[in-house]
Each structure stands twice: as structure tokens, then as C-alpha cells.
Structure 1
Amino acid sequence: MSDRIPTSTSVVESAVIDAPFSDVWHLIKLQDFSKFWSSLTTSEFVKGASPETDIVKWAFKDGTELEVKQEAHSSIDYYITYSVISSQPALTYSSVISTIKLFPVTSGTHEGQTFVQWSGNFSSDADAGVIEDAKYKRREALADLAKVVCKK
């Protein structure tokens, strides 16, 4: 019998950011995440990666290093999808694919602001701790993004 707690293998966090859509969208590039996410020390293209493939290394303040690959990007539908292709230390699960999608708020009390949704879909071997960690990291990053773009 397993000690694993059954859990959803997906996470979705969102925020309404009090900044114009263009200010927020401008930062949603894998290589620019260290410009807003306080947990990162650097985010830079991986040297030697294929020119057809966007691979960025994220170095976290805790020493973790992830290589993330851009899987999809749309300047029409305003989203970016990426996967983690390597990690030091190694991940405790097989895979994850994440999408950040932006929506301009066009009416109502939040008109002129930006709605941001950040989802993650993990392989079935991800446990509850992984999902909780992903939830809080996304919340932290969205709050950091809001702080940076609201200063403008």
C-alpha cells in the first residue's frame, strides 16, 4: 500500500494586475522572468541550444537551476507555454508543462488592468507537495510581477 496522498496533478493561479496589458505582456518572455520574479537570480538563453529552440536557464536563489523550453507562444492570443527539460537538483516527478495567458480587462471596475492566468499540468507521479509548491511559487511570481509593472 502506498503512502502517497491522491492529488490533482494540475494547478491554476490567477491575478488581476493594476497595470496596462502592454506593460505586463512585455515581461512574459522566459528570458525576462528574472526582471520581475524575486526568487530568480538570472534567466538567460542557454548557449549552444539549437537556433530553432528557445531554451532558457532559470537560476533560483535557493540554488535550483531549471532549463525551460518554450513550447508555444502567441502574440495574437497572448500566451506562452513552456516545459521543464532539466533540473539541478533533479525533479521528483517526470514532467510539467505550464502556460501563462494574459487577458486585457476591457470593461467594469477593473477596466484597463490585466488578468493573468498561470497553469501547470504535472505528470501523474507529482505528489501533493509538488502541487502545493507550484501553487505558492505562482502566487509569489504573480505578486512580484504586479509590483514591478505597477511601479511604472
Structure 2
Amino acid sequence: MSSAIATTNEVIESAVIRAPLSHVWHFIKLAEFAKFWTAIEKAEHVKGVSDETDVVRWTFKDGSVIEVKQDEHSNLDHFITYSVITSKPELSYSSVVSTIRCWPVTSGELEDSTFIRWTAKFSSDADIGVIEDAKYKRRDALKDLAAAAGKMVKEHQK
């Protein structure tokens, strides 16, 4: 009998950000993540990749570096899907595909806010530690995004 803990291989984190969709969506481009996610030191396009593939290198403040490939992006439906293609240090699992999707909140007490959902689907070899780490990293990033979008709202109100 295995001592491994059974887990889902998907993370779903969501938040309501008190900023209009246009202010939130402004940050949801792979090369712009360093402008809101405080864990990232820099984000830069990887040169020498085909013109049809958008690859960005995220260098994190802890020294880790990952390259992410944009798989889909829609300015109409406000979502981006990306996958990790390289990592230093090496990942302990085979693959992960993430999607960030935004919707405007159009009525109620949170009108003119943005509902955002950030998912990650991991390969079956990802363990519970990977899943939990991804959950908390996304929660932190969503807090950072809310702060950055809120700052943008204040600047526009001046």
C-alpha cells in the first residue's frame, strides 16, 4: 500500500479585485507579471524563439527561473493560458498549464470590480506539496495584483 497522499492535480484560486476590468487586464500579459507580482524580479521575452511563439522568462527573487510559453490569449474573452517549458531548478513534475481569466462585475455592491480566476492543471506526477505551493503562490500573486490595480485606480482618480 502506497503512503502517497491522494490529491487533485488542479489548483483553482479566485478573487474579486476592486478595480475595473480594464485596470486588471492591463497586467495580464506574461511580460507584465513583474509589474504586479512581487515574487518576480524581472520578466523578459526570450529572444530567438519562433515568431509564432511568445516565450517569457520569469526570474524570481528566490533565484529560480522559469520560461513560460503563451498557449492562448484573448482580449475579447479576457483570458490567457500559458505553460512552463523550462525551469531552474528543475521541476519535480512533468508539466503544468495555467489559465487566468477575468470577468467584469457589472452590478451589486462590487460593481466596477473584476472577478479573476487563476487555475493550474498539473501532470499526474505532481505531489501534494507542489499543489499546495501553487495554491499559496497564486493567492499571494492575486493580492499583489489587487494592490497594483488599486494603485492604478487611485492614479486615474487624481
TM range (shorter): over 0.9
Q: Structure 1: give runs of 5+ residues left out of the alignment.
A: none
Q: Give yes or no for the alignment of 1:59 onto 2:59.
A: yes
Equivalent residue number for residue 156 of structure 2 = none
Residue 4 of structure 1, CA deviation: 1.7
Partners of 2:16 and 2:22 lie apart in 1 by: 14
Partner SS state of residue 138, structure 1 = helix
Equivalent residue number for residue 147 of structure 1 = 147
- Quote the RMSD (CA, aligned, Å): 0.7
TM-score by length of structure 1 reads 0.98
Residue 141 of structure 1, CA deviation: 0.3
Residue 3 of structure 1, CA deviation: 2.9
TM-score by length of structure 2 reads 0.94
Matches within 5 A, 1:89-100: 89-100=89-100
Identity %: 61
Q: Give yes or no for the alignment of 1:81 onto 2:81.
A: yes
Matches within 5 A, 1:56-135: 56-135=56-135
Q: Give yes or no for the alignment of 1:40 onto 2:40.
A: yes
Partners of 2:91 and 2:46 lie apart in 1 by: 19
Partners of 1:109 and 1:140 lie apart in 2 by: 24
Residue 2 of structure 1, CA deviation: 3.2
Q: Structure 2: give runs of 5+ residues left out of the alignment.
A: 153-158
AA aligned opposite 1:53: T
Residue 75 of structure 1, CA deviation: 1.0
Partners of 1:50 and 1:148 lie apart in 2 by: 32
The number of residue pairs the alignment matches comes to: 152
